[in-house]
Amino acid sequence: MHNETIANLSQGLANGEYSSVELTQYFLDRIKRLDARYNSFITITEETAIAQAKAADAMRASGNARSFTGVPIAHKDIFCTNGIKTSCGSKMLDNFIAPYDATVVDNFNNHGAILLGKLNMDEFAMGSSNETSFYGPVKNPWDTGCVPGGSSGGSAAAVAARLVPGATGTDTGGSIRQPASMCGISGLKPTYGRVSRWGMIAFASSLDQAGPLARTAEDCAYMLNVMAGFDDKDSTSLDKDVPDYTGQLNNSLEGLRIGLPKEFFSADLDTEIAASIQAAISEYQKLGATIKEISLPHSGLSVPAYYVIAPAECSSNLSRFDGVRFGYRCQSPESLEDLYKRTRSEGFGPEVKRRILIGTYALSSGYYDAYYLKAQKLRRLIRDDFVNAFDSVDVILGPTSPSTAFPLGEKTSDPISMYLADIFTISTNLAGLPAMAIPCGPVNGKPVGMHLIGNYFDEARLLNIAHQYQQVTGWHQQTPDGIE
């Protein structure tokens, strides 16, 4: 059962091949038996899952089942889950039981989906390797000596190891797509404003966006159908019709115009990754697409712009963790200042502290114009490059990550090299565009992901383009060695 897609499991439940209780117990047993190898779960919600599965079976018996009724999933531990620990991968929230559900969580609950547990992640979603988690690193199922990517590393590893058929993630600079790419699965970051951020613990509010990670584009479409939509609790959520994302998967790609940014295919690109991407381009040509070289002249500035804007927003968002209202509090504070200082020194890990310091500096008077304002201007130029490009192409294609999964510990002492792991993904967050990573072949036994960037609110087309590729290739069906 663990090799079935969400689409098939949904069908199997509808056909009465198994009950949701059976399916749920099957995945819970698998997680308990195998996850010690990967460390992808922070919390397993067994009781909740079984209770939800019974309710889902009853929902089906009464004729009210929906596409996700009875299908198990897991949430990145950044989404608030009512009555369930919500740690955000941090000691700061190790004792935090959320008092409400995030809108994304609510949407899955309303469909009758089953929550198997909460997934490991980089602390407060800051990282590209899942090594900044308070709960220890996640191991890549393709090679447990390597990172799964980050920050949604637990989500990607759990899906790749077939511990759960689909998982939620969040993407501020690449955190859905980069781990999806490194774990050989499919992941989608929707347009900013497509999915509600309410109840999703904020890192950088103008960049954060939730999305699905699953084995196929079709499964991502199933998940996005549940996740997307207007939410009046999130002021940046857009009131715009939600199409049926599974409805356009089979559209023909005849005449599709694919843009290849010359900046993404420079001489520095790893030759084997480049060859995998070129092979994917050829598949698209066979499917009727035309290829055009384009330019995104400011894309080289996206990493520096991001590493001013994201830390600035994080320094503001994380000021709420002060030991007063919720979360960690230091022992026997001597004064209010001592309470703040020691709570934050003891509760946050080194990468989070680094970001808070950078952000506070960039926003401080006298430096604001030089750093934050300048970075916002670059952001506009980066966005304008995409707007120009979409005048002449329908989708932009390139690599997701400059390397395949790297060894644990390789980049932990060099933040800049870690930051560069997102060099191809960050510009889309700055522009607010939707983008997808899907597997396009292994290099030396490790997955490679291609990156598809769409125009605003063009998720249905991205899913269609990804799905068509998955109809004619088998990379998404590859299973890591040793996954029984």
CB nearer to ligand GLN: give 109 or 128.
128
**Closest CB 306 distance from ligand GLN, rounded Å:** 7
151 flagged as catalytic: yes
The residue from 173, 229, 434, 439 that contacts ligand GLN (CB under 6 A) is 173
The DSSP code sequence of 308-365 is HHHHHHHHHHGGG-SSSSSS---SS-SSHHHHHHHHHHHHS-HHHHHHHHHHHHHHST
Which strand (E) or helix (H) includes residue 293? strand 290-294
CB nearer to ligand GLN: give 45 or 428.
428
> Does residue 172 interact with ligand GLN by CB under 6 A?
yes
Task: Please give the structure tokens belonging to residue 457.
Answer: 């609110």
- The values of phi and psi at residue 377, to 5°, are -70, -40
Is residue 37 within 8 A of residue 46, CB to CB? The reply is: no
Residues 67-106 that bind ligand GLN (CB under 6 A): none
CB nearer to ligand GLN: give 211 or 323.
211
Q: Which range, of 124-132, 260-268, 286-294, 323-331, touches ligand GLN by CB under 6 A?
A: 124-132
The residue from 114, 125, 183, 318 that contacts ligand GLN (CB under 6 A) is 125
Is residue 455 within 8 A of residue 394, CB to CB? The reply is: yes
- The values of phi and psi at residue 146, to 5°, are -115, 160
411 flagged as catalytic: no
- Please tell me which residue in 10, 40, 67, 76 is annotated as part of the active site: 76
CB nearer to ligand GLN: give 146 or 310.
310
Q: Which range, of 106-114, 172-180, 444-452, 457-465, touches ligand GLN by CB under 6 A?
A: 172-180
Task: Report how many residues bind ligand GLN under the rule CB under 6 A.
Answer: 13
- List the beta bridge partners of residue 84: 81
Rounded-to-integer distance, Cα 422 and Cα 152, Å: 13
The residue from 106, 171, 458, 459 that contacts ligand GLN (CB under 6 A) is 171
If we measure between CA atoms, which residue out of 470, 471, 441, 466 comes closest to residue 451? 466
> Does residue 151 interact with ligand GLN by CB under 6 A?
yes
Residues 393-422 that bind ligand GLN (CB under 6 A): 422
Residues 284-323 that bind ligand GLN (CB under 6 A): 310
- List the beta bridge partners of residue 259: 292, 396
Planar angle of CA 75, 196, 171, nearest 5 degrees: 60
Task: Please give the structure tokens belonging to residue 185.
Answer: 């699965």
Q: Which range, of 121-129, 222-230, 256-264, 462-470, touches ligand GLN by CB under 6 A?
A: 121-129
Name the residue type at position 456: Y
> Does residue 167 interact with ligand GLN by CB under 6 A?
no
- Please tell me which residue in 20, 87, 128, 151 is annotated as part of the active site: 151
**Closest CB 459 distance from ligand GLN, rounded Å:** 18
Rounded-to-integer distance, Cα 74 and Cα 72, Å: 7
> Does residue 423 interact with ligand GLN by CB under 6 A?
no
**Closest CB 431 distance from ligand GLN, rounded Å:** 14
**Closest CB 350 distance from ligand GLN, rounded Å:** 13
Rounded-to-integer distance, Cα 125 and Cα 123, Å: 5
Rounded-to-integer distance, Cα 300 and Cα 286, Å: 31
> Does residue 174 interact with ligand GLN by CB under 6 A?
yes
Rounded-to-integer distance, Cα 154 and Cα 161, Å: 10
The residue from 5, 48, 86, 128 that contacts ligand GLN (CB under 6 A) is 128
> Does residue 131 interact with ligand GLN by CB under 6 A?
no
CB nearer to ligand GLN: give 81 or 175.
175
Which strand (E) or helix (H) includes residue 440? strand 435-443
Q: Which range, of 119-127, 242-250, 256-264, 401-409, touches ligand GLN by CB under 6 A?
A: 119-127
> Does residue 349 interact with ligand GLN by CB under 6 A?
no
- Please tell me which residue in 129, 175, 237, 401 is annotated as part of the active site: 175
Is residue 130 within 8 A of residue 359, CB to CB? The reply is: no
CB nearer to ligand GLN: give 167 or 310.
310
Rounded-to-integer distance, Cα 1 and Cα 74, Å: 17
- List the beta bridge partners of residue 117: 44
**Closest CB 415 distance from ligand GLN, rounded Å:** 9
Cis bond before residue 151 (omega within 30° of 0): yes
The residue from 127, 193, 229, 349 that contacts ligand GLN (CB under 6 A) is 127
Sign of CA dihedral 58, 60, 65, 71: positive
Residue 37, C-beta contacts closer than 8 angstroms, at least 6 positions apart: 139, 141, 144, 161
175 flagged as catalytic: yes
Other C-beta atoms closer than 10 Å to the C-beta of 337 total: 9
Residues 202-241 that bind ligand GLN (CB under 6 A): 203
Catalytic amino acids? 76, 151, 175
**Binding-site ranges for ligand GLN (CB under 6 A):** 125-128, 151, 171-175, 203, 310, 422
